[in-house]
């Protein structure tokens, strides 16, 4: 299965298209409308999504609240999320280290990586990938978009975790 974004002429997307291969190597398509508009270039490629999933967006913070070396810590629907800025791009990752409870947003951010403040596990900000240490697994990434200088995220997981 693959997921594509249906892009409209004005640069926004208005639907998610799920492609499912069948036994004859052809594809069946399912289209899921998206509430609101989001820029295609601000929503990274997403992982597998179920038809029941809805794209509901939650406002997290203003872009001015996120600095390259100081991420923004948020709680969205009971989940701890860290918002990171790397150059002019923003990333939303789960904020709790998978090894043991520590908030990664309180860790050390440098060269596109965040280091757990307690156990020295290192994660890539772009992918959430565990690069070193006792992390044990990659971090869950969440899609985000920017509307009127506000960062919004959806809790649909990008990397299928």
Average pLDDT over residues 5-10: 54
**pLDDT at res. 35:** 46
pLDDT grade, residue 23 (50/70/90)?
low
Residue 95 CB neighbours (<10 A): 24
**pLDDT at res. 1:** 52
How much is the pTM? 0.65
The yes-or-no verdict on residue 42 having pLDDT over 50 is: no
> 59-145 belongs to which homologous superfamily?
Rieske [2Fe-2S] iron-sulphur domain (2.102.10.10)
In a 10 Å sphere around its CB, with 0-12 CB exposed, 13-18 middle and 19+ buried, how is residue 88 labelled? exposed
pLDDT grade, residue 49 (50/70/90)?
very low
Residue boundaries of the structural domains of the chain: 1-43, 59-145
pLDDT grade, residue 40 (50/70/90)?
very low
């Amino acid at each position: 299965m693959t997921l594509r974004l249906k892009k409209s002429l004005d640069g926004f997307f208005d639907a998610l298209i799920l492609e499912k291969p069948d036994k004859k190597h052809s594809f069946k398509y399912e289209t899921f409308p998206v509430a609101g508009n989001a820029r295609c270039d601000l929503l990274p490629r997403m992982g597998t999504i179920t038809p029941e999933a809805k794209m509901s967006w939650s406002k997290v913070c203003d872009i001015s609240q996120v600095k390259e070396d100081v991420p923004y810590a948020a709680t969205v629907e009971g989940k701890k999320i860290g918002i990171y800025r790397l150059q002019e791009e923003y990333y939303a990752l789960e904020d709790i280290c998978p090894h043991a409870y520590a908030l990664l947003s309180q860790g050390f951010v440098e060269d596109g990586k965040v280091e757990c403040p307690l156990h020295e596990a290192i994660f890539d900000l772009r992918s959430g990938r565990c690069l070193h240490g006792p992390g044990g697994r990659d971090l869950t990434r969440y899609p985000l978009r920017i509307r009127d200088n506000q960062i919004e995220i959806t809790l649909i997981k990008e990397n299928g975790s």
